[in-house]
Structure 1
């Protein structure tokens, strides 16, 4: 049986809600919904492209903590508050995952926990041996 490795970002919400930033079991890594927040500060303002870029950078960082990389990502789920912004969001996603081409889904939601967030991204990765 594979050992479970919970990876924390240190957010106080992790204990309040009962979640981890990421979980690795065996060669599988799941990354929770990630927004453009840097220790309480919004990154990217009201720009969905910049928010998406920052969220992906946060995902990249937590994947590294789990021993994975963007190249190991097999699926992303992109939640947005305004689907008409899909091109800007898609551009940021393509810049990070263009050659990797994970499966992805983009869905409009009514809102997030804070109205300043425009994009939230989840990622699934499988680490393969070279």
Structure 2
């Protein structure tokens, strides 16, 4: 097989930020295959899976990014390595009001992605969920 097909043969490397919560809900927080990292949506929760910062959109958003930062660091990455960011929110006007916070994270360039308003997220207390894809250099 050619070297260009090397990533096809690489074993997925899974990572759990909150193993018990992820097992209960049936997902892994991230998986790396080759240089590609896919990160499940982060929500504002504590280590037991209880929603945090209820009713506080900006703090929920910051909590999401804090979790995403931990996942990226696990793989030796930063937000500079993010190539896709998808935001799901139940309150688009609130997201647009606070979207400038992203400028503190994405200091070199912004990733591709979508901003999507949804009827609901996994729990009614969640106002925002953010998923990422990164490419490790």
TM range (shorter): 0.7 to 0.9
Alignment pair present for 1:12 and 2:20: yes
In the TM superposition, 1:60-79 aligns within 5 A as 60-79=69-88
Alignment match, 1:125: 134
Pick from 82, 85, 91 the counterpart of residue 82 of structure 1. Answer: 91
Unaligned runs of 5+ in 2: 1-8
1: CA distance, partners of 2:120 / 2:134: 26
Structure that is richer in strand per residue: 1
Alignment match, 1:34: 42
Paired residue secondary structure (1:42): coil
CA contact (8 A) 1:23 1:31 kept: yes
Paired residue total: 128
1: CA distance, partners of 2:130 / 2:83: 13
2: CA distance, partners of 1:99 / 1:44: 29
CA contact (8 A) 2:80 2:107 kept: no
In the TM superposition, 1:50-69 aligns within 5 A as 50-69=59-78
Give the TM-score of the pair, scaled to structure 1.
Answer: 0.87
Please report how far the alpha carbon of residue 98 of structure 1 lies from its aligned counterpart in structure 2 after TM superposition: 4.1
Unaligned runs of 5+ in 1: none
Please report how far the alpha carbon of residue 43 of structure 1 lies from its aligned counterpart in structure 2 after TM superposition: 3.4
Give the TM-score of the pair, scaled to structure 2.
Answer: 0.83
CA root-mean-square deviation? 1.7
Per the alignment, do residues 48 and 107 of structure 1 end up closer, same or farther by CA in structure 2, a change over 3 Å counting? Answer: same
Structure 1 stretch 85-94 or stretch 112-121: which is displaced more? 85-94
